[in-house]
Structure 1
Amino acid sequence: MKQVIVSIFFLTSLFATPLVHELEATGIQNSGYDSYQKYCAMCHGKQREGISAPPLLPQFIKHLNDEKLHNIIKNSLPQTLMPKFSFLCDKEIDAIIGYLRTPAKNITWSKEDIQRSKKIFHNPKKNLGIKSIDNVTLVVERGANRVWVMEDEKVLDRFAFANVHGGLKYTLDGKNFYVPTRDGWIGHYSLENGRLEAKIRACVNLRNISLSRDGKYLFATCLLPERVVVLERESLEPVKLYDVDGKISALYELYSKDEAIFTLRNKPKLYKVDTKNLQFSAYDLDKPIEDFFIDPFEKYIIGTTRHGRDLRVYNIQTRKEVFSAPIEGMPHLFSATYWYKDGKFYFATPHLRKSFITVWQMYDWKLVKKIDVGGDGFFVKTHPASRYLWVDNGSDALVLVDKDKYTIKKLIPRKGKRYIHTEFSGDGRFAYLSLYEPDGDLLVWQTDTFRELKDYPANVPVGKYNFINKNRKFYPRLFGYSIFKEKCWGCHHQTAMAFGPPFAQIAKKRSDAQIMAQIVDPEHTYKELGYKRNAMPAFDLGPKELRSIVDYIKSFKDK
């Protein structure tokens, strides 16, 4: 908590002495606004937006009560350059705090402000020695304001970046990733150079970031001001500012077409963005969508209306509702997880301030199961390499939900330390668990045996982002892994010859169409593929299953 408080106030001691003399000469101000402008705005900004010091808008200081704020202003903080303002009387300090609590109005952050904020770093290049981008995982250590770069069980790099908020985004070539912060900064890290390259402040209060599928543009959705900022990805130069009248839920890119989608939390609007020509189109909905995700095959939006009273599914193309169901407690859809089993596709989601998760069948759209996990959690995760859903419930327990039987068992990673959020390596061999405490840990487990491999001390570790698991483009590939285990591995191996040829060989020699034809109708394709006889059974797979298994096979093309 100490480090969180330290990040709130950062005033240089350079101005302490003149401030004291001026205050003594002019007397006590009655207005908190006037006092703030006179003594605080130089570092915290005239609009409390933050300049050399962090923002002091209500949403950034809501975790500090008036007593704590009063003490910080009066007595400063240890190990910072902020001066003591002990010469201020209680009335003066309380007036400043009262102004800090007032809602912000007409916050501006212009294109010129964005350009002026850009900073280029010149740190030495490092060779991170990455073996496979598929197994690179990023870790946010919130309490220490750091981001880690990991591969398998090893930490390859750590770098400082404060106030990280929202999902980190990789480029699809695996060469770069981008880090968003709550106060509007976006950092660019090069995995090729092993260093933070630059950062820029897109706005005052940021919601999330996204990348166009061609990697040309970066989109930042902002709550202050209410707009979408479009940056040229490589240079971080602003190319378009699109203002909206409402609070943006989030913007997500599509990988099947040059398009992105966002909704407003407080108005019944859906926007589509052409990510090639940067044209924005607005459409009316019957109700606002508070939170949503896009299904793995990019045909539907799964969302919840304001206050989370129902779950709704919309067709992306027509924007028509195709399913709705009443729910109890708002689902945290950003934390949903997906899997395939016996010809069907599923997702599970936690519910805010509720002690259960729900399991839903996709595409047939129905509630499958409501499962009490014993507490109010925030994340549910899985991987084809695991038979379980990995769920946190606000305690020190890891709740494991069997995906076949929906039975529960619990493990305690560390007694008395709150467990939150699991991420997996791309191949599923490793599981990364956060122990959400100032004296916490980042644990690396072997996924199938739960054996602990590494324990890295960490100050409030939270989000973790694997290259494969955090890109919707690769979700069908993960389903394909499950299909392989159900239907293929009796005859095929991924890289070694078995009864049938290895996937690596198939991926190199055959087109997608040839692979699909051989799966569904081998009796009529084996001669074309050069076989003297057919030994392969036909599989009755639907289009989504075929897409998934082909994506999985093709992932071994360079193996």
Structure 2
Amino acid sequence: MRVPAAALVLLFSILFLSPVVGEELYNKYCASCHHPQKIGVSAPPLIPETLNRYKDEDLKKIIRDGLPSTQMPSFKNLTDEEINRIVRFLREDIAYNWSSLDIQNSKVVIEEKPKPLPIKNVKNLTFVVERGNNKIWLMEGSDILDKFEFPNVHGGIKYTLDGKNFYIPARDGWIAYYRINEKNEGSLHSKVRACIYLRNIALTNDGKYLIVGCILPQTIEILDAKTLTPVKEIKVEGKISAVYDLYKENKAIFTFRDKPQIGVINTQDFTIIYKQSVEPVEDFFIDPFDKFLVGTSRQGKKLVVYDLERFSLVFEGSMESMPHLFSASYWYKNGKFYFATPHVGKTYISVWQMYDWKFIKNVDVGGIGYFVKTHPATDYLWVDNSTDQLVLINQNDFSKKIIYPEKGKKFTHTEFNGDGKLAYLSIYDKYGSLIVYDTYSLGEIKRYPANQPVGKYNFVNKSRNFYPGLFGEEIFKEKCWGCHHQTQEAFGPSFKEISKKRTESQIIAQILDPKNSYKLLGYKRNSMPAFNFNEYELEAIVKYIKSFGE
């Protein structure tokens, strides 16, 4: 059979010419925003890790029609064959690199006049990500204090403990530095691109360095937190799951999603010691007392808990599917510590008891959710389920209450302000909203129009070292409220007075053994019962008491 000449020309161009021609078209129309190596400039990187979720037809449509509410234009001038060639080139592997020099050269100092911020309580500062408009909002209470542009935000925003420095990571490796100066003025100060594809960031416990977990290239980058200049590059072999600092020690912990190792970084000299794990740990959190790593793997069907002092496995729990532990939430109730987590592809959350580790129960939420949040100021777990429902689960009996923040539009992700009096809810829609709720009355206080609002990050709730104090607030309500008030004298002295007059050891002695300690404190008689607190309850209540002397 004779093949037509035109068909042969087309076949030849597909097999031999299309990748080259596709590259030329890419460089002409795409490279100025996406970089000649496809690693992104002002637009996201176009690499397998960002493109695999798209089918070829999706990519063709995006090229032809653009993306509304973004800087991605339409290229209706291109023929179907030219678009096909660009897509084929996007699927081609290409060598890319990102060095310390590239990091240094990427730094941008933003010459923006700082804006006066009427901050009343830094612990109530909350950042909101408005994905559809590539905006970040800074809020306190129900008020928006500032807005600025920063796209592709991913993972937790990190804060220094004075509430003056905030670090915002983006999936494409950029990190923004928002600073509040001594005049209480805030602005986006600078930004730097630490890598091509970023997993998350951590801040050392002294606030001096940023630790950046990178998937492309496979490195851990250490940046000076004030200047964003690279300090050290640590090459790793594997895909980092996440990196978290320990606030009690000069250490940070990271794991790999593709090999069974746990890395321990010394945050003074940035040396690394590796420990073996039973299996790869793809998702994990460090418990609020800095004692344990709670993790899981996508392939496995178990939850694992490692003691961080000995790096020994102390618990394994079976499950049907991978939990999303980054979205887990913790609370204290009736003398026990708990956490709850959603699960990939399942319509329930699971509840677990911490420290005497055990599974409690699964609670069906009516849909596949992504976030569980709670706070001492509420008796509920606030859960989304990929519908227009907010599911409130009572912490005592796990009964459920359904609220519809906006009927017919998807609700996602609750965050509380620092004192827990307010909850922020996202209506994830192009014509969505950021809604502020009263956590006591469950009534709406304020609503702001927003284009696909997603994560919210409160200063207290995203800093693990505040969690013992949050637990302490719950312990106070259960055990201490009958005799003590936080700031006013009641039957017993206020926590404010105690924190100023007594050392930590004196407070501990009075809690555990008041019969023998009251005379040392100058009392003529003792009316306080002894509390048989475990080490975690004791640390929590002491930290809560001491917070009133700060």
TM range (shorter): over 0.9
1:128 matched to 2:117:
yes
Q: Matches of 1:100 and 1:353 in 2, distance apart?
A: 30
Q: Matches of 1:72 and 1:136 in 2, distance apart?
A: 37
Q: Could you say if the C-alpha distance between residues 465 and 341 of structure 1 is closer, same or farther in structure 2, counting changes exceeding 3 Å?
A: same
Q: What do residues 352-397 of structure 1 show as CA deviations (whole Å, max 9, x unaligned)? A: 1100000001111110011111110000011111111111111111
Matching residue within 319, 324, 336 for 1:344: 336
Contact 2:148 2:188 in 1 (8 A): yes
- Report the secondary structure of 2:23's partner residue: helix
Q: Could you say if the C-alpha distance between residues 29 and 301 of structure 1 is closer, same or farther in structure 2, counting changes exceeding 3 Å?
A: closer
Matching residue within 83, 92, 105 for 1:93: 83
Q: Report the counterpart of residue 334 of structure 1 in structure 2.
A: 326
Contact 1:377 1:393 in 2 (8 A): yes
Deviation at 1:286, TM superposition (A): 2.7
Contact 1:29 1:35 in 2 (8 A): no
Deviation at 1:29, TM superposition (A): 7.6
Matches within 5 A, 1:180-259: 180-192=169-181, 193-259=185-251
Q: Matches of 1:236 and 1:481 in 2, distance apart?
A: 36
Identity between Structure 1 and Structure 2 (%): 54
1:141 matched to 2:130:
yes
- Report the secondary structure of 1:482's partner residue: helix
Q: Report the counterpart of residue 486 of structure 2 in structure 1.
A: 494
Matching residue within 285, 291, 302 for 2:294: 302
Matching residue within 51, 54, 62 for 2:44: 54
What amino acid is aligned across from residue 88 of structure 2 in structure 1? G
Q: What do residues 46-105 of structure 1 show as CA deviations (whole Å, max 9, x unaligned)? A: 220022443222333455543453344446678988777555432232121012134x45
Deviation at 1:129, TM superposition (A): 1.6
User: How large is the Cα RMSD of the aligned pairs?
Assistant: 2.0
Q: Matches of 2:384 and 2:19 in 1, distance apart?
A: 50
1:170 matched to 2:170:
no
Q: Report the counterpart of residue 388 of structure 1 in structure 2.
A: 380
Q: Could you say if the C-alpha distance between residues 84 and 130 of structure 1 is closer, same or farther in structure 2, counting changes exceeding 3 Å?
A: closer
Q: Report the counterpart of residue 359 of structure 2 in structure 1.
A: 367
Deviation at 1:43, TM superposition (A): 4.0
What amino acid is aligned across from residue 151 of structure 2 in structure 1? A
Contact 1:340 1:479 in 2 (8 A): yes
What amino acid is aligned across from residue 509 of structure 1 in structure 2? K
> Which deviates further from its counterpart, 48-57 or 182-191?
48-57
What amino acid is aligned across from residue 529 of structure 2 in structure 1? P
What amino acid is aligned across from residue 155 of structure 1 in structure 2? I
Q: Matches of 1:115 and 1:429 in 2, distance apart?
A: 42
Q: Matches of 1:423 and 1:389 in 2, distance apart?
A: 11
Q: Matches of 1:81 and 1:289 in 2, distance apart?
A: 37
Matching residue within 441, 455, 458 for 2:447: 455
Deviation at 1:33, TM superposition (A): 3.4
Contact 1:266 1:306 in 2 (8 A): no
Q: Could you say if the C-alpha distance between residues 464 and 510 of structure 1 is closer, same or farther in structure 2, counting changes exceeding 3 Å?
A: same
- Report the secondary structure of 1:443's partner residue: strand
Matches within 5 A, 1:356-435: 356-435=348-427
What amino acid is aligned across from residue 395 of structure 1 in structure 2? T
What amino acid is aligned across from residue 373 of structure 1 in structure 2? V
Q: TM-score, normalised by structure 1?
A: 0.91
Q: Matches of 1:390 and 1:84 in 2, distance apart?
A: 40
What amino acid is aligned across from residue 111 of structure 1 in structure 2? S
Q: Report the counterpart of residue 540 of structure 1 in structure 2.
A: 532
Contact 1:292 1:334 in 2 (8 A): yes
- Report the secondary structure of 2:484's partner residue: coil
Q: Report the counterpart of residue 479 of structure 1 in structure 2.
A: 471
1:260 matched to 2:252:
yes
Matches within 5 A, 1:260-339: 260-339=252-331
- Report the secondary structure of 2:101's partner residue: helix
Q: Matches of 1:208 and 1:480 in 2, distance apart?
A: 29
Q: Report the counterpart of residue 5 of structure 1 in structure 2.
A: none
Q: Report the counterpart of residue 45 of structure 1 in structure 2.
A: 35
What amino acid is aligned across from residue 294 of structure 2 in structure 1? I
What amino acid is aligned across from residue 283 of structure 2 in structure 1? D
Q: Report the counterpart of residue 97 of structure 2 in structure 1.
A: 108
- Report the secondary structure of 1:321's partner residue: strand
What amino acid is aligned across from residue 291 of structure 1 in structure 2? D
Q: Report the counterpart of residue 151 of structure 1 in structure 2.
A: 140
Q: Matches of 1:317 and 1:501 in 2, distance apart?
A: 37
- Report the secondary structure of 1:97's partner residue: helix
Deviation at 1:339, TM superposition (A): 0.7
Q: Matches of 2:121 and 2:217 in 1, distance apart?
A: 39
Contact 2:19 2:88 in 1 (8 A): no
Structure 1, unmatched stretches of 5+, are 1-26
Q: Matches of 2:104 and 2:42 in 1, distance apart?
A: 16
Contact 2:168 2:177 in 1 (8 A): yes
Q: Could you say if the C-alpha distance between residues 432 and 218 of structure 1 is closer, same or farther in structure 2, counting changes exceeding 3 Å?
A: same
Q: TM-score, normalised by structure 2?
A: 0.93
- Report the secondary structure of 1:409's partner residue: strand
Q: What do residues 206-261 of structure 1 show as CA deviations (whole Å, max 9, x unaligned)? A: 11010000011001111111111100100100011111111100000001100000
Report how many residues are paired.
Answer: 531
Q: Matches of 1:415 and 1:79 in 2, distance apart?
A: 24
> Which deviates further from its counterpart, 127-136 or 357-366?
127-136
Q: Matches of 1:462 and 1:176 in 2, distance apart?
A: 22
